[in-house]
Amino acid sequence: MSNPRPIGVFDSGIGGLTVVKALRDRLPNETIVYLGDTARVPYGPKSPDTVQRYALELARMLMQKDAKALVVACNTVSSVALPLLTRKFSVPVIGVIEPGACAALQVTRNHHIGVIGTRATIRSGAYEKVLRAADNNVRVSSRACPLLVPLIEEGLLDDEVTDQVVTRYLEPLLAKEIDTLVLGCTHYPLLSTAIARVLGHQITLVDSAQKCATAVQETLDRHSLRSPTAEGGELHVALTDAADNFLNVARDALQLNFGEIELQPLP
């Protein structure tokens, strides 16, 4: 069996590789094509219209590679473009928000969930909507944390400045007595150690990259789309512009193996 259809994964940049890492661990015989829009990263500060337009372009590029499923490894895109993508493409489309929200509902005991993410994700209220739709007794406290992505991209994963910034962002959520915190940005799993340090053991962290990978596995099973081969799948990484230093940070921190980066300019 040659050239099994890949899973297409896209993100505004390189952060979505945390989802790829979770997929590789969970589905090692699937081939993955990753497309990161480094020419236009970040999507966080951009308007919903612009993000939707960019998401359609990226999804089309992956469909040209015969993707059997589309994984939106980006909270900003998931929060504003998932219904549109689902309508436009016939393959299953899996985002990061619903899996993260559902996992948070399963682990919270006091029904008070915290969510952190980029300004766009928090402003969209996407996690809140999904959480409330599933359980209208849940309380949600959200916080935009715009400095975390730059700190991660600078490689300050284990650093006192990062700890201070994390503390400042999380203290108001702790004061409100959340018992569960959703990492609502695909970069944030790279800071999970720092975040856990600030949170202590009382709060359960929900990594939406991990939960997204679980949802992808379930979706492929449901649609009988799992790779028929028992061999190891391949990982191809394409970017719309040359990668900067953060690609090395992510590769090292995630211990991901991929070869040459393909440069795939936007149409």
User: Catalytic positions, please?
Assistant: 74, 185
Residues 211-230 that bind a second copy (CB under 8 A): none
Using the rule CB under 8 A, which residue among 21, 46, 68, 187 binds a second copy? Answer: 46
Question: Closest separation between CB of residue 148 and a second copy, Å?
Answer: 9
Query: Can you tell me the distance from the alpha carbon of 59 to that of 56, in angstroms, rounded to the nearest whole number?
Result: 5
Q: Is 230 exposed, middle or buried (0-12, 13-18, 19+ CB in 10 A)?
A: exposed
Q: Is 231 in the site for a second copy (CB under 8 A)?
A: no
Q: Is 244 in the site for a second copy (CB under 8 A)?
A: yes
Site string for a second copy, 79-118 (x = CB under 8 A): ----------------------------------------
**Which CB sits closer to a second copy, 40 or 226?**
40
Mapping DSSP onto H, E and C, the string for 24-89 reads HHHCCCCCEEEEECCCCCCCCCCCHHHHHHHHHHHHHHHHCCCCCEEEECCHHHHHHHHHHHHHHC
Q: Is 57 in the site for a second copy (CB under 8 A)?
A: no
Span near a second copy by CB under 8 A; candidates 67-75, 124-132, 194-202, 237-245: 237-245
**Which CB sits closer to a second copy, 147 or 225?**
147
* Torsion sign (Cα): 79, 80, 83, 87: negative
Q: Is 168 in the site for a second copy (CB under 8 A)?
A: yes
The distance from CA 69 to its chain's CA centroid, rounded to whole angstroms, is: 16
Using the rule CB under 8 A, which residue among 57, 135, 154, 179 binds a second copy? Answer: 154
105 CB-near residues (< 8 Å, 6+ apart)? 113, 131, 134, 135, 138
Using the rule CB under 8 A, which residue among 45, 83, 172, 232 binds a second copy? Answer: 45
The secondary structure of 124-152 as a DSSP string is HTHHHHHHHHH-TT-EEEEEE-TTHHHHH
Footprint of a second copy on this chain (CB under 8 A)? 38-41, 45-47, 50, 119, 146-147, 149-151, 153-154, 161, 164-165, 168, 241-242, 244-246
